[in-house]
Amino acid sequence: MAKKKKEKQISSTGRAYITAGINNTLITITDDQGNALFSGSSGKSGFKGSRKSTPYAATKAAEQAGVVAFNAGLREVAVFVKGPGMGRISSIKALKSAGLNVMSISDQTPMPHNGCRPKNRRRV
């Protein structure tokens, strides 16, 4: 006799972390404590190569992750965006269109406070 798997109880609020890289867009939806619940990416949505970096691919990835989260019972998300990619704004719009209520948007892109030492100028 097979045991019936108990579904996890998911709270109605959570966080959405969007990492908009140059070549891909990653979306991770977590609970309030930061435990990952759902994830999606442009590659997971079926895009390959240079099409992964497009805003359309980011929209599809965020929409897929958002719909799965919405069906599981998540209703409100706080969005944290990181990275310089093209899918930053379009993925936030896609989360809204999936039915999730976006409470806040914050940019967590790392900025160097003078960063690494540059390469020496070439002397000929």
Q: Is the pLDDT of residue 106 over 80?
A: yes
User: What structural domains does the chain harbor?
Assistant: 13-107 (3.30.420.80)
Greater confidence, 24 or 2? 24
pLDDT at 2 over 80: no
Tell me how far apart the alpha carbons of residues 107 and 91 are, in angstroms, rounded to a whole number.
14
pLDDT at 124: 85
- Intra-chain end-to-end CA distance of the chain, in Å: 79
Mean pLDDT over each residue of the chain, to the nearest integer: 92
Average pLDDT over residues 81-96: 94
Whole-number pLDDT of residue 4: 75
In tens, the pLDDT along 7-65 reads 667 889 999 999 999 999 999 999 999 999 999 999 999 999 999 999 999 999 999 99
Tell whether the model's pLDDT for residue 6 goes beyond 70. Answer: no
Q: What angle do CA 98, 34, 38 make, to 5 degrees?
A: 40
Q: Is the dihedral of CA 111, 56, 90, 30 positive or negative?
A: negative
Q: Are 18 and 10 in contact (CB under 8 A)?
A: no
